[in-house]
Every structure is written in C-alpha cells, then in structure tokens.
C-alpha cells in the first residue's frame, strides 16, 4: 500500500535535511582539504555543492506542492553524516565520508520510490532523477577511493 501524503512529506523532509547537510560537508571539505593529492577531490566536491543544493530545492518544492511546510535551520537536525576530518590532508577520510553520504541518500530515495509506487508518480519521478544523480556521485567517489587506497 502506498504511503499517505503526510508520510511522503516526512520522507521528503528527511531527504531535504540530508541534502542540506551534504552541502555543508562538501563545502567544508572542498575548502579545508590540503595538499596536492586533495586538489581533484576539492574540485569535485566544490562542483557537487550546487548540485546537492539543487536537490534540496527540488525536494523543498515538492514538499510545498504536497501541502507540507519546508523547515528552516532551527527545525533541521545535522550531524548524522561523517563530519569533515580535522586532519586536512586525510583525503581518504573525505572520500569515505562522501561515499557514506551518497549511499545513505541512495537508500533514502529508493525508500521513497517504493513508498509512492503506483500512487504519486511526480514524487517517484523526482526521486528517480535524484537517485540517478546520487548514484553518479557514488560511482565517481568509489573510483577515487580505489585510486587513493591502491598500494
């Protein structure tokens, strides 16, 4: 049975929160990482910030369309993702944090896609598109991890 509209709104709000936390962490890592080995990762993360913010905007619009309320910072809960390392040359830690965030986002979008199956095609289409973006980021950073952990 498909989720109710209030349930869908809550699932979308969770994704909205996750996307905003991702923006913050990617911005921090794209700024804080140091060293020659970090340059490609910094560039990739900096390029992903607008994409992740765009995801949050799309989710916010869908929440509103469904009659929900888009929360501000006081209602959001951050800190569930792996935080940027204080060791600014630990590129592998940053890569692993990205992989974790992307895997979590993919799982959340799959959950929403299943929850609205056969009922809310607009939300389902949105989440399928966002899932595709997250999977693309995930593959890229898994490739980075292979390169950075190769002995």
pTM: 0.95
pLDDT digits 0-9 by tens, 17-30: 999 999 999 999 99
The token duo for 19 is 């996307």
Rounded Cα distance, 82 and 30, in Å = 15
Structural domains of the chain, ranges and CATH numbers in brackets: 5-149 (1.20.1260.10)
* The pLDDT of residue 113: 98
Q: What would the mean pLDDT of 118-135 be, rounded to a whole number?
A: 97
* The pLDDT of residue 109: 98
Q: 102 falls in which pLDDT band (50, 70, 90)?
A: very high
Q: For 81, phi and psi rounded to 5 degrees? A: -90, 160
* The pLDDT of residue 150: 84
Q: With 70 as the cut, is the pLDDT of residue 66 above it?
A: yes
Among candidate residues 151, 150, 43, 18, the one with its CA nearest the CA of residue 94: 43
| Residue 91 vs residues 29, 41, 70, 87, 88: alpha-carbon distances, Å | 9, 8, 34, 9, 7
* The pLDDT of residue 151: 56
């Amino acid at each position: 049975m498909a989720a109710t509209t209030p349930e869908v709104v809550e699932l979308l709000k969770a994704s909205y929160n996750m996307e905003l936390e991702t923006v913050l962490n990617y911005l921090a890592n794209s700024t804080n990482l140091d060293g020659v080995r970090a340059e490609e990762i910094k560039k990739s993360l900096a390029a992903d910030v607008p994409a992740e913010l765009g995801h949050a905007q799309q989710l916010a619009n869908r929440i509103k369309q469904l009659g929900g309320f888009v929360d501000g910072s006081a209602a959001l809960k951050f800190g569930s993702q792996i935080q940027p390392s204080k060791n600014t040359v630990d590129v592998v830690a940053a890569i692993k944090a990205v992989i974790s965030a992307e895997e979590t986002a993919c799982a959340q979008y799959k959950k929403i896609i299943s929850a609205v199956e056969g009922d809310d095609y607009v939300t389902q289409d949105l989440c399928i598109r966002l899932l595709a973006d997250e999977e693309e980021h995930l593959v890229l950073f898994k490739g980075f991890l292979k390169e950075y952990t190769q002995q």
